[in-house]
């Protein structure tokens, strides 16, 4: 088990993950400086595989999806926290081996990790 801590506080966990044969394998967890979980990602032999979740700095779920051998695969859901802690789903899509095949949400352009890209099926 590998653990990394924030520089300014040796007791504040930043990353916790596991390796097998020098590759990420198992559950990867990344934390905000306030201690809340930021990301929870499954890895298999160095590739993202399984559950993928991102949270905001208050612990609210922002993104949930799954991966298969490094490619997003399955249902993708993106959430936004509104006033008074209410959560709304702002995007829902379906991916098959990294390609978005169905979109059913508020956005016409994908916005994942700050990068926009057009759906390759909507040319």
Q: What is the CATH number of the domain that holds 66?
A: 3.90.930
Give domain status of residue 87, yes or no: yes
pTM surpassing 0.85? no
User: Is residue 116 pLDDT above 70, yes or no?
Assistant: no
How big is the chain by its Cα radius of gyration, in Å? Answer: 16
User: What domain count does the chain have?
Assistant: 1
**β-bridge partners, 103:** 93
Q: What is the pLDDT of residues 40-51, one digit of tens each?
A: 999 999 999 999
Read off the DSSP letter of residue 34.
T
Give domain status of residue 123, yes or no: no
Give domain status of residue 53, yes or no: yes
User: Is residue 105 pLDDT above 80, yes or no?
Assistant: no
List the domain range (segments joined by +) for residue 105.
Answer: 2-117
Which tokens sit at 13?
């966990």
Residue 89's pLDDT band, with cuts at 50, 70 and 90, is confident
């Amino acid at each position: 088990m590998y653990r990394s801590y924030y520089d300014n506080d040796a007791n504040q966990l930043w990353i916790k993950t596991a390796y097998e044969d020098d590759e990420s394998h198992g559950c990867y967890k990344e934390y905000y400086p306030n201690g809340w979980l930021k990301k929870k990602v499954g890895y298999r032999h160095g590739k993202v595989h399984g559950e993928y979740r991102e949270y905001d700095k208050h612990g609210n779920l922002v993104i949930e999806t799954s991966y298969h051998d490094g490619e997003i695969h399955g249902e993708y859901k993106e959430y936004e926290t509104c006033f008074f802690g209410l959560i709304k789903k702002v995007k829902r899509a379906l991916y098959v081996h990294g390609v978005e095949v169905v979109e059913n949400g508020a956005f016409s352009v994908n916005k994942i990790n700050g990068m926009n890209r057009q759906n390759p099926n909507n040319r």
